[in-house]
């Protein structure tokens, strides 16, 4: 059985006990969370959240890319969110690569360089500040009164705010 087949079996068990839950499409807390995709970071557990409370947008490094801006714009303009929380973390894989090294490795393997920036980083605090600055500079994000960034410690589970 492949991992995907096992996940599908898990879903069948979930669906059998799911019941009928009706949640509005607008998140109850009017908040969007942008986080790294790292499997050690359980955003819902770390922030004490349940389904229907926030939008969660994840990618490698929790980088604020054009697609993240797109998702945040939709989240705010169509679905009523007003606050943005950024969650990066310690021991991130994006700190262990370089843009050039990764792009070169992909090109050597695939025969073409990726058209998108890798956006690796050395200092996680600097990466959080860069993400905040991109959101604040975007004309597409209407509500910028509460844009805050944090670093999640994968060893302790503690969030530390980046000023």
pLDDT the model gives residue 14: 85
- Domain spans of the chain, in order of start: 23-162
Quick one: tokens of 116? Answer: 């998108």
Q: List the CATH code of the domain at 23-162.
A: 3.40.1050.10
73-91 core/surface letters (b: 16 or more CB in 10 A; e: else): eebbeeeebebbbbbbbbe
d(CA 149, CA 163): 8
Q: What's the predicted TM-score (pTM) here? A: 0.93
55 membership: H or E segment, kind and range: strand 54-59
pLDDT tens track of the chain, all 163 residues?
Answer: 899 999 999 999 988 888 777 888 999 999 999 999 999 999 999 999 999 999 999 999 999 999 999 999 999 999 999 999 999 999 999 999 999 999 999 999 999 999 999 999 999 999 999 999 999 999 999 999 999 999 999 999 999 999 9
Handedness of CA 154, 158, 159, 163 (dihedral sign): negative
d(CA 59, CA 103): 17
Q: How many CA atoms lie within 13 A of 3 on its CB side?
A: 0
């Amino acid at each position: 059985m492949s991992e995907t087949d096992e996940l599908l079996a898990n879903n069948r068990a979930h669906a059998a006990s799911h019941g009928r839950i009706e949640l509005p499409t607008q998140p109850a807390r009017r908040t969007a969370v942008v986080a790294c995709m790292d499997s050690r970071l359980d955003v819902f557990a770390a922030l004490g959240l349940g389904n229907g409370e926030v939008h969660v947008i994840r990618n490698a490094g929790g980088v604020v890319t054009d697609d993240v801006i797109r998702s945040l714009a939709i989240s705010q303009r169509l679905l009523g969110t007003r606050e943005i929380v950024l969650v990066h973390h310690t021991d991130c894989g994006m700190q262990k690569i370089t843009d050039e090294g990764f792009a070169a490795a992909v090109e050597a393997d695939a025969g073409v360089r990726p058209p998108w920036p890798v956006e690796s980083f050395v200092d996680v605090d600097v990466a959080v500040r860069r993400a905040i600055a991109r959101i604040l500079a975007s004309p597409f994000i209407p509500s910028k009164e509460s844009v805050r960034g944090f670093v999640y410690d994968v060893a302790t589970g503690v969030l530390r705010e980046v000023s």
